[in-house]
Amino acid sequence: MVTCTKCKKRNAVVDLGYTGSDLCSPCFIAYFEHRVFKTNREFKLIQHGDKLGVGVSGGKDSAALLFVLTKLTKHVGAQLIPILIDEGIAGYRDKAAEKAQALCDKLGLRLHRLSYKKVFGISMDETVKKRDKVKWRGACSYCGVFRKHALNKAAFDLGCDKLAIGHNADDMAQTILMNFLKSEPARFMRFGAFSGITERDKFVMRIKPLMYVTERECAIYCTLRDLPFHLQECPYSSDSFRGELKDFLNSVEEKHPGSKFNIIKSFLSLKELMVATPVSEKELKHCAKCGTPCSGENCKACLLTEELKNADGRVAETKQITKNKKK
């Protein structure tokens, strides 16, 4: 048996590699919540009087987020509005949504729902069928853009000042490495505890209160707090690059504890040193179709829905081209 390094009384149940400490259940819960509260103070994420939207999926990260935020918002004096985006993935999101609902019931919160079908006229199940005909984009490429758009829309329509999302330290470290490997400096500059184009109309600022806790810690927290959450791989999961980085970071973390946090810290210090090149007001437009702030004529979500609408046409086109080539 290992004794808890903090209280030196109870048996430790968790081994926190990067801190060198072993914690019992109550000490781990206190540690986890302390880290989220600290992140909130450091970046001034949630303030008194805020109407705060929270993206919940039924998964462990957002379950942990919602639970901690009920404490944090009570402490700060802010209002909490859980939002679930239903991608329309039968056998997956519907099951997860039940867990999200159960958690909201437990916390006495009303869960707001918005579906891809309602916003884009097409569910993920339908998108994948269409996509299968052309196969030039992975399912996650559509889904990622749609989710961001739908969450923002729901939060905006509900009058939220900010939108909290369940991105944890693992997500942060992966995204930072990904931007490095893909050489996307512009994306880099927008990334952090707050994200997106801030202070634009029709845009709700996104915040990441879990950026200094790991994915594994979120799962431990939910388990120790006995929160309902759903664990299942999405049947359309297609972002293999992110998956590879996940595996890579986990093996590095196992051998060199603390690496994930160091990536985030290094990035944030670098960002401070770099002179931020703000995207000028002129360059930013509003999507001609839906009004979302974007840099082109239309936002990415509208471009992708259009692409899907034309998917059948594209098949014909592709076939035509192949035929001509054979000649």
Partner 1 sequence: MKVIFSLDGKTKEVETKTGATLADILKAEKINLQTGLIKLNGKLTHPSTELKDGDTLEFVNIIYGG
**Contacting positions for ligand SF4 (CB under 6 A):** 87, 124, 139-140, 143-144, 234, 236-237
Identify the bridge partners of residue 142 per DSSP, sorted by sequence position: none
Q: Applying CB under 5 A, which part among 2-10, 56-64, 121-129, 212-220 lies near Zn ion?
A: 2-10
The CA distance from 312 to 131, in Å, is 10
Give 57 or 298: the residue with its C-beta nearer to partner 1: 57
Decide if residue 220 touches Zn ion (CB under 5 A): no
User: Could you tell me the two tokens for 49?
Assistant: 């009087």
Decide if residue 216 touches partner 1 (CB under 8 A): yes
The CA distance from 206 to 156, in Å, is 11
Binding mask 186-205 for partner 1 (x = CB under 8 A): --------------------
Decide: helix, strand or coil at residue 252.
helix
The CA distance from 273 to 61, in Å, is 31
* Span 253-272, contacts to partner 1 by CB under 8 A: 253-254
Within 8 A by CB and 6+ apart from 124, the residues are 87, 88, 89, 93, 116, 139, 142, 143, 146, 236
Decide if residue 15 touches partner 1 (CB under 8 A): yes
Applying CB under 5 A, the site for Zn ion has a residue count of 12
Decide if residue 243 touches partner 1 (CB under 8 A): yes
Are 33 and 67 contacting, i.e. CB atoms less than 8 angstroms apart? no
Sign of CA dihedral 156, 157, 159, 160: negative
User: Could you tell me the two tokens for 141?
Assistant: 């490429």
Using CB under 8 A, which of 65, 140, 163, 304 touches partner 1? 140
In the complex, which residues of this chain contact partner 1 (CB under 8 A)? 1-2, 11-15, 22, 25, 57, 59-60, 140, 143, 215-216, 219-220, 223-224, 231-234, 237-239, 242-243, 246, 250-251, 253-254
